[in-house]
Amino acid sequence: DAGITQSPRHKVTETGTPVTLRCHQTENHRYMYWYRQDPGHGLRLIHYSYGVKDTDKGEVSDGYSVSRSKTEDFLLTLESATSSQTSVYFCAISESNRDGGGYTFGSGTRLTVV
């Protein structure tokens, strides 16, 4: 989607290795989110950010950390990847909810942990 890019698009990594996924936006939106998507589970929130250096946990945050050192970048790190973290990861951005509308999602990163 225009204004939000995720990298890499695909990654295969070994169990126990650290992995960092990047989300970059050009919209200057305040809020950024990381979701994971697994068959039959919809999208589940991992972590989110409501400003530079302001982050909080979502419902499935164990094993993940995030950082947001500038408005445009939100990094998701798997400190020691496990097979249960094999998933498709989506980043999303949004402005405040006062204007309505929803999130804009990136195209996703497919991560395989072997």
Partner 1 sequence: GESVGLHLPTLSVQEGDNSIINCAYSNSASDYFIWYKQESGKGPQFIIDIRSNMDKRQGQRVTVLLNKTVKHLSLQIAATQPGDSAVYFCAEKMGYGNKLVFGAGTILRVKS
Stretch that binds partner 1, among 19-27, 61-69, 72-80, 93-101 (CB under 8 A): 93-101
Asked if 21 interacts with partner 1 (CB under 8 A), we say no
Inter-CA distances, 12 with 9, 57, 66, 94, 99, Å: 11, 25, 20, 29, 39
Q: Is 14 in the site for partner 1 (CB under 8 A)?
A: no
Question: Is 46 a residue that touches partner 1 (CB under 8 A)?
Answer: no
Using CB under 8 A as the criterion, which residues of the chain lie in contact with partner 1 when the complex forms? 1, 31, 33, 35, 37-45, 48, 50, 56, 58, 88, 90, 92, 94, 96-97, 100-108, 110
